[in-house]
Chain A
Amino acid sequence: MATRVETPALRPAAFGRVGNGVIAALGLLVLWGIAAWIYQLTQGLIATGMRDVVSWGLYIFSFAFFVGLSAGGLIMASAAEVFGVKSLRPLSRLGVLTAAACVLVAAMTIIPDLGNPQRVWELFRYPNWSSPLVWDILIIIVYFAFAVADLTIMSRRTMEPSKRAKVLRVMAYAGLPTAVLLHSITAWIFGLQISRPWWNTALMAPLFVTSAILSGTAVVALAALAAHRFDRIRLPQETWTALAGLMAVAIAVDLFLVASDYITILWGNVPRERAALDIILPGGSWQALFWLEWIVGGLVPFVLLVVPRLRRRLDLLALASVLVLVGVYAFRIELVVGGMLRPLLRLAPGNALGSYKLGQTVFQFDGVYHPTWVEYAIVTGLVAFLSLLILVGYRWLRPVERDESAA
């Protein structure tokens, strides 16, 4: 076993007071999110910043983001088995734990986005099989069930080790295509739409898979780093190096795919395709997304992860992981909002907004989107809930393998 555990304590004190404080704070944020959702239920979605032109917002791009985060787990666990990347093996249980938590929270994120959440059962009663949303719900359920089953088997101490290893190996082979399918289908929710030239590219599924591997690995890295810091888990250096390497490759592939998309649009110069890209490129009204994606969440973490002297430092690995998450989140915003800001028919007087406020125009050319406190509160609550799930799951399952005989 490559794992070395230097601390003999099974339940270190660091998890006591600090841990309880963190859990209490997260619990408060979750309650705040629930309160905001109840407020939204009383008002309707008018409480959000979404309107008819930009009719999807923070909820949907957070949904896509959470789905992406869930990748790390199964892919990492599978990579250890399928591709024989042994250095990642100590993290497979932690990975599957984050996968299960992230995909659960992703599914929950759809609920506040619905105008009639009480009708959500209709998805199962009257599914329309041509809708990518129905495929996505199906694969989310399969993926969640798979991750939970995987985690259960991994945590079973009673199971005979050789038998367990065999079952886990089979599950690793099944897990990889399941994960790829989850991200591809989520991509197709957007990528199949002919009404949004910005979304309608065959690159969407590869982009989602890549950015999912990227952000999913970052989440596992952050969880492992937190465990390292507060639970005094000792992972071998090659595990950290493997995490850094995986993220660096994923950043490169991700930006390569995005660049291919940009080049195709720029060279082709078809106005309806340029419309969205021009908003995001430097000089556009949402250019912050470009810098966040390419520099803050792209070049900077890439350098941190690639330069040998830098990547050995765990604090910089943590920084790189956070930046990577920022970059991937920027990509999600860019996708959803960029796709909706400029509708195909941009002739005067514009599109109806669907809401009426004195002094406000009824029609809009370019979409405008400013999330409200309700949306921020609900998404913050969801992030807090996700952290709680991972934290409690960690405490309960102790997912990072320990060599207890060494104690």
Chain B
Amino acid sequence: MAAETTKKWGMVIDQNRCIGCWTCAVGCKEINNEPLGFWWNRILTAAPGETTGESSEALANPASDNIDVPHGTFPDVEMAYMPVACQHCTDAPCVKVCPVGATFRRDDGTVLVDYERCIGCRYCMAACPYGIRVFNWGDAQQPVDFTVGYGKDYRTDGRLVFTPDRPRGVVEKCTLCVERIDVGEQPFCVEVCPVGARVFGDLNDTESEVAQLVDDGGATQLLPDLGTDPRIFYLPVDRERSV
């Protein structure tokens, strides 16, 4: 399968459509059997274009420390939702710092963690600009006593990149639902989004919706000045609409 034309997986998140309902975050927790307290995907409340456009400043303080509260001072308030999970960077800092190559990047751009290789040094967590990695500090706590979601181990090139029962002392994060995309399905967050705010596909295929949105929709990346070149793109609320 790998011998075919290389895929270049990418995702576009349309902030104009996102309603901040957390369905993608909850769906992610469910399909991946994420333990209590673990969120591979979380929905930040941002100002439109914040953290993406050149003029933006990632640390601009929110009006409030709460979600769903607009930014700015009345009457100049604005608000947008920004779902943030692993950005699957092309030049991923986590891949560069991992001392044992437990975090690696596949040819299709998916950044994964090998649960059997990770020594638990957490250098990747220090290196990730997006703060999306979570660590198994102790034994995983689950809300129910049975496994939910995909439910079995998944390996790519023999490396254990997903297991429903988390080993202690390893780092984990969004896998782009590697077990699903490898069999032609969509990542679960894309599938469950009730408003179609997420578009997933092959950026190498110029005909694909995702490639076209990236090309002509004014798509931006998160913290673009760091040069990590994420494969996750955002369509900010205040963009010039070409459609």
Q: Check B170 for interface membership: any CB of A closer than 8 A.
A: yes
Whether the pair A346, B59 counts as a contact (CB closer than 8 A) is yes
Chain B residue with the shortest CB-CB distance to A340: B126
Chain B residue with the shortest CB-CB distance to A43: B138
Whether the pair B169, A194 counts as a contact (CB closer than 8 A) is no
Q: Check B181 for interface membership: any CB of A closer than 8 A.
A: no
A346 to B65, CA, bound (A): 9
Whether the pair A123, B99 counts as a contact (CB closer than 8 A) is yes
Q: A43-B138, A195-B93, A363-B42 are in contact. Are A128 and B37 (CB under 8 A)?
A: no
Whether the pair A131, B120 counts as a contact (CB closer than 8 A) is no
Q: Check B123 for interface membership: any CB of A closer than 8 A.
A: yes
Whether the pair A51, B137 counts as a contact (CB closer than 8 A) is yes
How far, in Å, is B63 (CB) from chain A's closest CB?
A: 9
Chain A residue with the shortest CB-CB distance to B122: A55
Whether the pair A345, B58 counts as a contact (CB closer than 8 A) is yes
Whether the pair B119, A119 counts as a contact (CB closer than 8 A) is yes
Q: Check B44 for interface membership: any CB of A closer than 8 A.
A: yes
How far, in Å, is A197 (CB) from chain B's closest CB?
A: 9
Chain A 87-124 interface mask (CB, 8 Å, partner B; 1/0): 00000000000000000000000100111110110110
Q: Which residues of B contact A128 (CB under 8 A)?
A: 98-101
Q: Check A282 for interface membership: any CB of B closer than 8 A.
A: no
| Interchain CB contact (< 8 A) of A349 among B67, B97, B137, B169 | B67
Q: Which residues 33-54 in B have Cβ within 8 Å of A in the complex?
A: 35-39, 42, 44-46, 50-51
Q: Which residues of B contact A117 (CB under 8 A)?
A: 119-120
Q: Check A257 for interface membership: any CB of B closer than 8 A.
A: no
Q: Which residues of A contact B59 (CB under 8 A)?
A: 271-272, 275, 342, 344, 346
Q: Which residues 246-304 in A have Cβ within 8 Å of B in the complex?
A: 271-272, 275
Q: Check B156 for interface membership: any CB of A closer than 8 A.
A: no
Whether the pair A123, B82 counts as a contact (CB closer than 8 A) is no
How far, in Å, is A256 (CB) from chain B's closest CB?
A: 27
Whether the pair A114, B65 counts as a contact (CB closer than 8 A) is no
A123 to B46, CA, bound (A): 40
The interface-forming segment of A159-167, A169-177, A219-227, A353-361 is A353-361
A50 to B138, CA, bound (A): 11
Whether the pair A116, B170 counts as a contact (CB closer than 8 A) is yes
Q: Which residues of A contact B38 (CB under 8 A)?
A: 352, 354
Whether the pair B66, A345 counts as a contact (CB closer than 8 A) is no
| Interchain CB contact (< 8 A) of B96 among A44, A46, A131, A354 | A131
Whether the pair A348, B65 counts as a contact (CB closer than 8 A) is yes
Q: A344-B59, A345-B44 are in contact. Are A46 and B137 (CB under 8 A)?
A: yes
Q: Which residues 203-231 in A have Cβ within 8 Å of B in the complex?
A: none
A123 to B139, CA, bound (A): 24
Q: A133-B123, A195-B128 are in contact. Are A355 and B118 (CB under 8 A)?
A: no
Q: Check A402 for interface membership: any CB of B closer than 8 A.
A: no
SS class, residues of chain A in contact with chain B: loop
Whether the pair B138, A46 counts as a contact (CB closer than 8 A) is yes
| Interchain CB contact (< 8 A) of B42 among A126, A134, A349 | A349
Q: Check B155 for interface membership: any CB of A closer than 8 A.
A: no
Q: Which residues 62-104 in B have Cβ within 8 Å of A in the complex?
A: 62, 64-69, 82, 84, 93, 96-101
How far, in Å, is A60 (CB) from chain B's closest CB?
A: 9
Chain B 168-211 interface mask (CB, 8 Å, partner A; 1/0): 11110000000000000000000000000000000000000000
Q: Which residues of A contact B130 (CB under 8 A)?
A: 344-345
A288 to B45, CA, bound (A): 33
Q: Check B7 for interface membership: any CB of A closer than 8 A.
A: no
Q: Check A8 for interface membership: any CB of B closer than 8 A.
A: no
Q: Check B223 for interface membership: any CB of A closer than 8 A.
A: yes
| Interchain CB contact (< 8 A) of B119 among A52, A120, A349, A351 | A120
Whether the pair A344, B58 counts as a contact (CB closer than 8 A) is yes
Q: Which residues 126-165 in B have Cβ within 8 Å of A in the complex?
A: 126-131, 133-139, 141
Chain B residue with the shortest CB-CB distance to A349: B67
A114 to B133, CA, bound (A): 16
Q: Check A137 for interface membership: any CB of B closer than 8 A.
A: yes
A351 to B130, CA, bound (A): 9
Whether the pair A133, B82 counts as a contact (CB closer than 8 A) is no
Q: Which residues of A contact B122 (CB under 8 A)?
A: 55-56, 113, 115
Q: Check B60 for interface membership: any CB of A closer than 8 A.
A: yes
Whether the pair A115, B97 counts as a contact (CB closer than 8 A) is no
Whether the pair B44, A116 counts as a contact (CB closer than 8 A) is no
A364 to B223, CA, bound (A): 20
List 26 A–B pairs whose Cβ atoms lie within 8 Å, in order of A's numbering: A45-B138, A52-B133, A115-B121, A115-B137, A116-B120, A117-B119, A125-B100, A128-B100, A131-B97, A133-B121, A133-B123, A193-B97, A194-B228, A275-B59, A344-B131, A345-B44, A345-B130, A347-B44, A348-B62, A348-B68, A349-B67, A352-B42, A352-B134, A353-B37, A354-B38, A365-B65
Query: What 20 new A-B contacts, CB under 8 Å, besides A45-B138, A114-B169, A126-B101?
Result: A46-B137, A46-B139, A52-B133, A115-B118, A115-B135, A119-B118, A123-B119, A126-B100, A128-B99, A130-B96, A133-B97, A195-B226, A271-B57, A275-B59, A346-B58, A347-B44, A347-B46, A354-B135, A355-B37, A363-B39
**Lowest 5 CB-CB distances: which A-B pairs, in order?**
A115-B120, A115-B169, A46-B138, A356-B37, A356-B36
